Structure 1
Amino acid sequence: MMETSNMETIYQHIAYILNAMIPEDWEKVLLYAEMREGYGQVFFYFYPLGSNIPVYSLDIVDQYIVDSRNFGSLEDQLFDCCEQLWNEFHQQEQEQWTCFTYILKHTGEMKIQYNLKYS
């Protein structure tokens, strides 16, 4: 049986970090993480409130007035959370996922999908 309380805490921390990284009110966030031994990447898109045009996370510093050091620190924290989630599967003796999709709505509703094989 997989212990989920650690995972729930990580999901909540991811939501907190995403909210801190996005410099305006938003409708929905789509985060994608890919992890393997010795490799990882994390990025996201968000939809500003009332817009159907997504903003790519790597464009935030260029498009908005944000503190780039603080933003970089939050990016590192986001990566660390995804890596903790990846490691949690190993600690729970579950097959580690390779790709993780996390969809968060401004209402707090979230949808999570794991892909276990890299294609």
Structure 2
Amino acid sequence: METSNMETLYQQIAYILNDMIPEDWEKVLLYAEMREGYGQVFFYFYPLGSKTPVYSPDIVDQYEVDSRKYESLEDQLFDCCEQLWNEFHQQGQEQWTCFTYILKHTGEMKIQYNYGDDLSQLDPTTKRERWEEKYLT
């Protein structure tokens, strides 16, 4: 299995996340879900010294960042996650249903893949709430 493309995508995701977050941070937790014709990506980050996470859609308003620049970075993040999903297929591996990418400010990274979960029957809010219960508590 050729993993250099995957490693490059993990690094690109980290760089994009860092560009999207307008302050120093302790930890970022990203959720990505992909299937044919559907994709969803969001993340939370913990500002340095804070125990309260910030939800990615709140960044523009909370930090008064340029919405066009932020949306461009969001698109890039989505594209990287989609490329990672496609890379699994190209490598002859089962494509994941969703994955969680945890990045600490030290550069330590942890990735958890879920396979075969049929999430299509759940609305995006319910999926996010379940993920939050597991990873943010």
Root mean square deviation, CA, Å = 0.6
1:59 counterpart residue number: 58
2:105 counterpart residue number: 106
Q: Larger RCO: Structure 1 or Structure 2 (Cα < 8 Å, ≥ 6 residues apart)?
A: 1
C-alpha distance after superposition, 1:51-109 (max 9, x if no partner): 00000000001100211000000000000000000000000011000011000000000
Deviation of 1:117 after TM superposition, in Å, equals 1.3
Which residue identity does 1:55 align to in structure 2? V
2:32 counterpart residue number: 33
Aligned pairs, how many? 118
TM-score (norm 1): 0.98
Correspondence list, 1:34-49, <5 A: 34-49=33-48
In 2, the alpha carbon distance for the partners of 1:80 and 1:26 equals 23
In 1, the alpha carbon distance for the partners of 2:64 and 2:41 equals 22
Correspondence list, 1:1-119, <5 A: 2-119=1-118
Unaligned 5+ segments in structure 2 are 119-137
Unaligned 5+ segments in structure 1 are none
Deviation of 1:19 after TM superposition, in Å, equals 0.2
2:128 counterpart residue number: none
Where does structure 1 differ by over 2 angstroms across 4 or more consecutive aligned residues? none
C-alpha distance after superposition, 1:26-49 (max 9, x if no partner): 000000000001000000000000
TM-score (norm 2): 0.85
